Structure 1
Amino acid sequence: MEDPVNDNAPKDGFVFIIIGKAYLEDDEDGVDVHIMLRAPDDDSAVREALNALTEEGFHEADLDQIGTIMGEPDEEPHASAYQGALEGDVSIIRFA
């Protein structure tokens, strides 16, 4: 049985941006984060984002928004994060 094909989905997946707050151990205030990555769907994007946050030492996250990026951002740090996502990286932008 063949997998169904969605003609609207890019072959390599979408570039997602996920906005939320992540918490390190004993950090009750947390840090605002934007996570950019390429994934085939939003469920996969959330899973990969949470895995990346765990690898960076965060033990909890509140993910508030998810969306797709339709074009390359003009300003840093999002422009570099977008390029990283195109190359297969999960980019975590932290806001102090």
Structure 2
Amino acid sequence: MMNSDNDNGRDETDAPTVFIIIGQVNMEKDAAMSQIHVLLAAPDEDTAVRLCLDALSGKGYVEADLDQIGLLGGMPDEEPHASAYQGALEGEVAIVTFD
């Protein structure tokens, strides 16, 4: 029996990959930008960015400057990110805004 030390495949029981995208947005061209964190589940970074931009556009944002993308290793301890993470696991694109 062969046992592989390199398991690049994902098991169907694995939790979805949840990305966090950090950036700035506004609802009026050339207006002041507001910081956002977007949490969503996606198979890869390209899909995550596309889904993020689609969701932001759907919410009425006209400009977006995405600064960073990363993976979350589990549910955050504090709100509002804990609820946003849960929403992402359920298929939502969760947008956390900061004033």
TM-score class, shorter: 0.7 to 0.9
Asked whether the equivalents of residues 18 and 41 of structure 2 are also in contact (C-alpha less than 8 Å), the reply is: yes
Matched residues, number: 91
1:90 is matched with which residue: 78, 88, 93? 93
Find out whether 1:69 has 2:63 as its counterpart: no
The structure in which a higher percent of residues are strand is: 1
Q: Secondary structure at the match of 1:50?
A: helix
Identity among equivalent pairs (%): 55
Find out whether 1:41 has 2:44 as its counterpart: yes
Inter-partner Cα distance in structure 2 for 1:51 and 1:17:
15
Which has the greater radius of gyration? 2
Asked whether the equivalents of residues 29 and 63 of structure 2 are also in contact (C-alpha less than 8 Å), the reply is: no
Structure 2 segments unaligned to the other structure (5+ residues): 1-7
Per the TM alignment, residue 27 of structure 1 is displaced from its structure 2 partner at its CA by 5.2
Per the TM alignment, residue 34 of structure 1 is displaced from its structure 2 partner at its CA by 0.1
2:56 is matched with which residue: 53, 60, 68? 53
Per the TM alignment, residue 13 of structure 1 is displaced from its structure 2 partner at its CA by 3.9
Q: Over aligned residue pairs, what C-alpha RMSD do you find?
A: 1.7
TM-score (norm 2): 0.84
Inter-partner Cα distance in structure 1 for 2:11 and 2:28:
38
2:17 is matched with which residue: 11, 14, 30? 14
2:4 corresponds to: none
Asked whether the equivalents of residues 12 and 40 of structure 1 are also in contact (C-alpha less than 8 Å), the reply is: no
